[in-house]
Amino acid sequence: MFKSVGIVARYDKKTALKLAGELAEYLKSKGLKVYVEDTLKGKIATQEEMVPLANMKADFIITIGGDGTILRTCITVPKPEPPILAINMGVRGFLTEVEPKNACEAVDKCLRGEYKIEKCAKLCVSLGDEDMPDALNDVVISAGEPSKILYTQICKDDKPILKVQADGLIVATQTGSTGYSLSAGGPVLDGEVNAFVLTPICSLTVFHSLVFPADSTLSFNVIRPKNMLVLIDGHYRKLVSLKEPMLQVTRSKNATSFIRFEENFYHRLKSRLLFKGTE
Amino acid sequence: MFKSVGIVARYDKKTALKLAGELAEYLKSKGLKVYVEDTLKGKIATQEEMVPLANMKADFIITIGGDGTILRTCITVPKPEPPILAINMGVRGFLTEVEPKNACEAVDKCLRGEYKIEKCAKLCVSLGDEDMPDALNDVVISAGEPSKILYTQICKDDKPILKVQADGLIVATQTGSTGYSLSAGGPVLDGEVNAFVLTPICSLTVFHSLVFPADSTLSFNVIRPKNMLVLIDGHYRKLVSLKEPMLQVTRSKNATSFIRFEENFYHRLKSRLLFKGTE
Amino acid sequence: MFKSVGIVARYDKKTALKLAGELAEYLKSKGLKVYVEDTLKGKIATQEEMVPLANMKADFIITIGGDGTILRTCITVPKPEPPILAINMGVRGFLTEVEPKNACEAVDKCLRGEYKIEKCAKLCVSLGDEDMPDALNDVVISAGEPSKILYTQICKDDKPILKVQADGLIVATQTGSTGYSLSAGGPVLDGEVNAFVLTPICSLTVFHSLVFPADSTLSFNVIRPKNMLVLIDGHYRKLVSLKEPMLQVTRSKNATSFIRFEENFYHRLKSRLLFKGTE
Amino acid sequence: MFKSVGIVARYDKKTALKLAGELAEYLKSKGLKVYVEDTLKGKIATQEEMVPLANMKADFIITIGGDGTILRTCITVPKPEPPILAINMGVRGFLTEVEPKNACEAVDKCLRGEYKIEKCAKLCVSLGDEDMPDALNDVVISAGEPSKILYTQICKDDKPILKVQADGLIVATQTGSTGYSLSAGGPVLDGEVNAFVLTPICSLTVFHSLVFPADSTLSFNVIRPKNMLVLIDGHYRKLVSLKEPMLQVTRSKNATSFIRFEENFYHRLKSRLLFKGTE
């Protein structure tokens, strides 16, 4: 049973801030200990405790925003990640489920235990001994210098399999397969398939998406230029030079859990495929 | 240890027939019982026993031809399938490994046990109680009338997931993912990933390839037109009407085994991607 | 000024038949000579003259149906083609403009001269001396035997440019570039660009769409198999054997004219791109 | 008849420098006035006049390098551009024709007048009154901040036609259609078609390549983020803010002329399609 809750919201959108304040009151009135992300300090009227996302230990977290808000939360909250109830207040809300007007109803269901947990696999990214955050959606590598082509050797389980010249490469989870990888022409991975997908961005050489077993390890050895940029879930960014160890990507031991009320992967997929932008 | 061998060859190509005759002699001289597919009767000079492919019970089978010859063999030989040593004498030989000039050397390695077995998963296709052959490469469904669009409901494990309008749909194994599915824009599945892929052919609706876990069951319910054509591995063909039960596709209990001398999936993939035709 | 009108409608849809009857009455009351396509004989209550489409000489034609009804009309009516007012009563109505509820209003605007003519270029298809109908959308060639790959030599202005192995090839006009060619991955041609596009269907060899100047002549010489199937606008069908002269495609002298009330190419394109089927 | 020649070469490749020195001698011995690009000063042994590329007024120019060397030359030389004889010493040499071993033979043919001129259309890029260089290959626009999606309104001849969300947009000439636009999934434009092509890079919204008549003007109005980056032929780079006038692209009055010995567009295309990188 949930005794504490964290609230994370977009701080650049008034409606998100207003809903964050209302939910904080509502959850407190239900007897929960409420933590609010401290970036909202001074922006919402609440007496609840303000904590940085990196210290937010709660039984579950409510995100109010789009996919960006969720990805930022996953990267930063202490592990193991508490489950996320995602309320859609973003331009792109493919990972979210609840519309703002149904927020209180969704909270009630949560507290009554009337929900399912959708576990989403993540990718573990490493560079020698160095720690990087896990990816819920994708790891993107590209040339460290703008408008350069990345020329890289790809290994699977330490065996060289292909060399590729492309703007970049995306390694995406099942969840991420409906995101950037899809825009780059990749396939959709059903949520139950135990795999991840490598999709090139504007490949110069003939090359399609490749689907690998989740327990394999991909490594990337840059041949040209001298640096490559690693971008995790669109938020974490690191420049890696040729002299460093190979970048490795494999399945993480961690997962992100979403609180869901219906099985709606294919419903969400349809809305993604027909996404019209804001027009 | 191999005591008997079956020989299957293209009967429309002289060099294939010649090699079939030579190998029959060579294998006999090595003490093996040799069976030759009876479609070669009168076309090659041999005293070995001629049997129909459907009765060819041998410890292993040598195919002399391209991918078509292998697919025809897999569909027809008695189960469980003996392993296949595939000698390339076809236009497309993405599944083959041995070049004709190395045929005797390959046979010697086989007999000395110096090989690996590559197990390739197959798809089980069913229509109510009806038996259809397993697919090593793919099952393709299309409208039963020429140049009609197929409008079909797709279910995963009996739950409706998508409706699609397209020229057709391909369900491909890992092996088949480098074949027709690739030409239709699908991803390549690494040989070790436990999955199959659904790829649309010229989809009218927005729709990409979908990758499913190998133990899921896809079913297809045609909405329009009145019939659909099912094509397995480009060889087995069946017209299915609206009134029949739903067509179901899932992983087969059977697999096809290839005799391989190197791990060369990615080598074969590169030759596939850069395939220039016969020019 | 329009003095006579032809009415063509889907005969398999009650609402289309009803509207055809209503429009016939309405147009007669406005003083026009009305011709009704004779396939509607006995299906609609009208005393207007019934004529076969091939003899329908009218100042303009109203089609009630989808793209199929328009394409069938273009192929069959006597040349030069009268302009078409296209009322949408089909599954796919990318070429149509008027919704059924606005049919009478559209007719009024027509009669008052408050419209623009959109001229759509067509393709001329020939085989030696033989006449084939012009294509408003596309010419599709494929192997004459089902599930065979077509291997063909392509010439531009009698010079060989490429050999291709594919399920088929589409030559599409600007109008047709938003149809089958788009489903096969081709680009959209702006209505004002003086060009046509060649798009392969599931090409085995690496090959993209090619855009040619409208005054060039493409010819196709089949290498394998023995026959190829030519399909014009999804309606006209002809089997061509290896021994016949090369199939040639170039711009036609004829064009199809549509009666339009707004410039709406990009509006129609958006609805095409987001087409969801009938779900 | 050619009386003067300019020599431009990659200065990071010894073989290119060596050939540059040899050709300078050879051309001088044939009586031509020779100008050498001054970036080669001190790198090649020659007494010929060193001039900056921007001042190189010669009857024709020899480039020794790959496509990058050609594009850099086109952007910088005084207008009208002298014809270019392109010798291939680059990783990618899709625009080049002559192999290094045939350089002297090619020069001889040039001097005897035994060549054809291939005229390649260019794009004119403007921003209010501001001058930017013409593009031989392409103009690429992307978000001014890394890994942001560009959300832009596209107008054709001042009429809004589409809004697009994508990593970027490529406007490519016929020549450029075989370059970056092709990697992004665009069609190939035959050299004689009077058109250019707009291709999205990883579009979030459903969107394909669009082909426009060469005399139309495309304009781009960024909606998000605040800046966009304009990149011409991979060399010229400019950051444009929301407050500036719309970026406009149309056909240039200038063209680039290549000295060619054979008509080989489709030959070069085949090598492009099957480009294997450096492996």
Of the partner residues C206, C234, C279, the one whose CB lies closest to the CB of residue B147: C234
Q: First-to-last CA distance in chain B?
A: 42
Asked if residues D40 and D11 have their Cβ atoms less than 8 Å apart, the reply is: yes
- Rg for chain B, CA atoms, rounded: 20
- Burial of B82-102, coded b for 16+ CB within 10 Å and e otherwise, reads bbbbbbbbbbbbbbbbbebee
Predicted local confidence at residue A267, as pLDDT:
80
Q: Which two tokens stand for residue D4?
A: 């003067």
Q: Which two tokens stand for residue C39?
A: 């396939």
In angstroms, the Cα distances linking D97 to A203, B82, C158 are 23, 53, 23
Cα B163 from Cα A33, distance rounded (Å): 45
Asked if residues D275 and D100 have their Cβ atoms less than 8 Å apart, the reply is: no
Closest-CA residue to A138 (of A82, A198, A72, A207): A198
Query: What phi and psi, each to the nearest 5 degrees, are found at residue D190?
Result: -55, 145
Contacts of A112-119 with C-beta under 8 Å, sequence gap 24+, read A113/A1, A114/A261, A115/A259, A115/A260, A115/A261, A116/A259, A116/A260, A116/A261, A116/A263, A117/A83, A117/A257, A117/A258, A117/A259, A117/A260, A118/A191, A118/A257, A118/A258, A118/A260, A119/A255, A119/A256, A119/A257
What single letter denotes the amino acid at residue D210?
L
Cα D194 from Cα D248, distance rounded (Å): 18
Asked if residues C37 and C7 have their Cβ atoms less than 8 Å apart, the reply is: yes
* Residue of C204, C205, C266, C274 to mutate, interface with A, max A Cβ within 10 Å: C274
What single letter denotes the amino acid at residue D19?
L
- Homologous superfamily (CATH) of C122-253 is Probable inorganic polyphosphate/atp-NAD kinase; domain 2 (2.60.200.30)
Please write the tens of the pLDDT for every residue from C183-198. 999 999 999 999 999 9
Considering only alpha carbons, which residue of chain D is nearest residue A146?
A: D146
Asked if residues D67 and D97 have their Cβ atoms less than 8 Å apart, the reply is: no
* Residue of B153, B169, B204, B270 to mutate, interface with C, max C Cβ within 10 Å: B204
Contacts of C274 in chain A (CB under 8 A): 274, 276
- Burial of B23-43, coded b for 16+ CB within 10 Å and e otherwise, reads bbebbeeeebebbbbeebeeb
* Residue of B206, B272, B274 to mutate, interface with D, max D Cβ within 10 Å: B274
Sort strands C138-143 and B150-156 into parallel, antiparallel or unpaired. unpaired
Compute how many other C-beta atoms are within 10 angstroms of the C-beta atom of residue B146: 12
Return all residues near A174 (Cβ < 8 A) that are at least 6 apart: A120, A121, A189, A190, A191, A192, A193, A195, A196
Predicted local confidence at residue D129, as pLDDT:
86
Q: Which two tokens stand for residue A209?
A: 């998406």
Cα D228 from Cα D238, distance rounded (Å): 8
Of the partner residues B206, B274, B276, the one whose CB lies closest to the CB of residue D206: B206
Q: Which two tokens stand for residue A54?
A: 């990196």
Predicted local confidence at residue B72, as pLDDT:
93
Of D47 and C140, the structure prediction assigns the larger pLDDT to C140
CB burial of residue C257 (10 Å; 0-12, 13-18, 19+)? middle
Considering only alpha carbons, which residue of chain A is nearest residue D144?
A: A146
Of C30 and C263, the structure prediction assigns the larger pLDDT to C30
Helix H or strand E segment including B193: none
Percent of chain A with pLDDT over 90: 71
Provide the whole-model pTM. Answer: 0.93
Closest-CA residue to C71 (of C80, C57, C56, C81): C81
Beta bridge partner(s), residue A141: A169, A230
Helix H or strand E segment including D152: strand D150-156
Cα A61 from Cα A41, distance rounded (Å): 17
Predicted local confidence at residue C278, as pLDDT:
44
Predicted local confidence at residue C55, as pLDDT:
95
Considering only alpha carbons, which residue of chain B is nearest residue D279?
A: B270
**Cβ <8 Å between B183 and C163:** no
Q: Which two tokens stand for residue D66?
A: 């790959």
Report the mean per-residue pLDDT for chain D. Answer: 91
Asked if residues C261 and C97 have their Cβ atoms less than 8 Å apart, the reply is: yes
Of the partner residues C162, C187, C263, the one whose CB lies closest to the CB of residue D211: C187
Contacts of C208 in chain A (CB under 8 A): none
The shortest C-alpha distance from B274 to chain D (Å) reads 6
Considering only alpha carbons, which residue of chain D is nearest residue C273?
A: D206
Cα B63 from Cα B13, distance rounded (Å): 13
- Rg for chain C, CA atoms, rounded: 20
Asked if residues D169 and D229 have their Cβ atoms less than 8 Å apart, the reply is: no
Cα D6 from Cα A166, distance rounded (Å): 33
Question: Residue D239: which region, alpha, beta or left (left: phi > 0; alpha: psi -120 to 50)?
Answer: beta
Predicted local confidence at residue B241, as pLDDT:
86
CB burial of residue D266 (10 Å; 0-12, 13-18, 19+)? middle
Compute how many other C-beta atoms are within 10 angstroms of the C-beta atom of residue C214: 18
Asked if residues B17 and B40 have their Cβ atoms less than 8 Å apart, the reply is: yes
Whether pLDDT at C62 is above 60: yes
ipTM comes to 0.92
Contacts of C163 in chain B (CB under 8 A): 277, 279
Contacts of D275 in chain A (CB under 8 A): 204-206
Q: Could you identify the residue written with the tokens 């409608």? A: C9
Residue B162, SS3? strand
Whether pLDDT at D11 is above 90: no
Identify the contact set of chain B against chain A, taking CB-CB distances under 8 A. 156, 159, 161-162, 177, 182, 185-190, 192-195, 197, 206-213, 216, 263, 266, 269-270, 273-274
What single letter denotes the amino acid at residue D115?
Y
Residues of chain B with pLDDT under 50: 278-279
Residues of chain A with pLDDT under 50: 278-279
Query: For helices A14-29 and A103-111, what crossing angle results, to 10°?
Result: 30
Of C53 and D11, the structure prediction assigns the larger pLDDT to C53
Within 13 Å, how many C-alpha atoms sit on residue C87's CB side?
Answer: 24
Indicate which residue of A12, A38, A59, A67 is catalytic.
A67
Identify the contact set of chain A against chain C, taking CB-CB distances under 8 A. 206, 274, 276
- Residues of C annotated as catalytic are 67
Please write the tens of the pLDDT for every residue from C65-115. 999 999 999 999 998 999 999 999 877 778 888 899 999 999 999 999 999
Predicted local confidence at residue D12, as pLDDT:
87
Helix H or strand E segment including C36: strand C33-37
Identify the contact set of chain C against chain D, taking CB-CB distances under 8 A. 156, 159, 161-162, 177, 182, 185-190, 192-195, 197, 206-213, 216, 263, 266, 269-270, 273-274
Asked if residues B172 and B185 have their Cβ atoms less than 8 Å apart, the reply is: no
Percent of chain D with pLDDT over 90: 71
Please write the tens of the pLDDT for every residue from D90-136. 777 788 889 999 999 999 999 999 999 999 999 999 998 887 999 99
Of the partner residues C147, C229, C276, the one whose CB lies closest to the CB of residue B205: C276
Q: Which two tokens stand for residue B255?
A: 């697999």
Tell me the pLDDT band of C274, cut-offs 50, 70 and 90: low
Give the pLDDT mean for D210-225.
94
Tell me the pLDDT band of C279, cut-offs 50, 70 and 90: very low
Residue B163, SS3? strand
Asked if residues D242 and D222 have their Cβ atoms less than 8 Å apart, the reply is: yes
Alpha carbon C107 to chain centroid, angstroms:
22
**SS3 track for chain A:** CCCEEEEEECCCCHHHHHHHHHHHHHHHHCCCEEEEEHHHCCCCCCCCEEECHHHCCCCEEEEEECHHHHHHHHHHCCCCCCCEEEEECCCCCCCCCECHHHHHHHHHHHHCCCCEEEEEEEEEEEECCEECCCECCEEEEEECCCCCCEEEEEEECCEEEEEEEEEEEEEECCHHHHCHHHHCCCCEECCCCCEEEEEEEEECCCCCCEEEECCCCEEEEEEECCEEEEEECCCEEEEEECCCCCEEEEEEEEEEEEEECCCCHHHHHHHHHCCCCCC
Whether pLDDT at C276 is above 60: no
Please write the tens of the pLDDT for every residue from D235-265. 999 998 878 888 999 999 999 999 998 767 8
Predicted local confidence at residue D275, as pLDDT:
60
- Rg for chain A, CA atoms, rounded: 20
CATH code of domain B4-115+261-272: 3.40.50.10330
Q: Which chains touch A (3 or more CB pairs under 8 A)?
A: B, C, D
Percent of chain C with pLDDT over 90: 71
**Cβ <8 Å between A277 and D205:** yes
In angstroms, the Cα distances linking C16 to B239, C4, C89, C94 are 32, 20, 7, 17
Asked if residues A115 and A260 have their Cβ atoms less than 8 Å apart, the reply is: yes
Considering only alpha carbons, which residue of chain B is nearest residue D272?
A: B274
Q: Could you identify the residue written with the tokens 């993209």? A: C208
Contacts of C218 in chain D (CB under 8 A): none
Domain ranges in chain D are 4-115+261-272, 122-253
* Residue of B170, B189, B216, B271 to mutate, interface with A, max A Cβ within 10 Å: B189
Contacts of B190 in chain A (CB under 8 A): 156, 210-213, 216
Q: Which two tokens stand for residue A243?
A: 């002299």
Predicted local confidence at residue B115, as pLDDT:
95
Query: For helices C103-111 and C14-29, what crossing angle results, to 10°?
Result: 30
DSSP type of residue D136: S
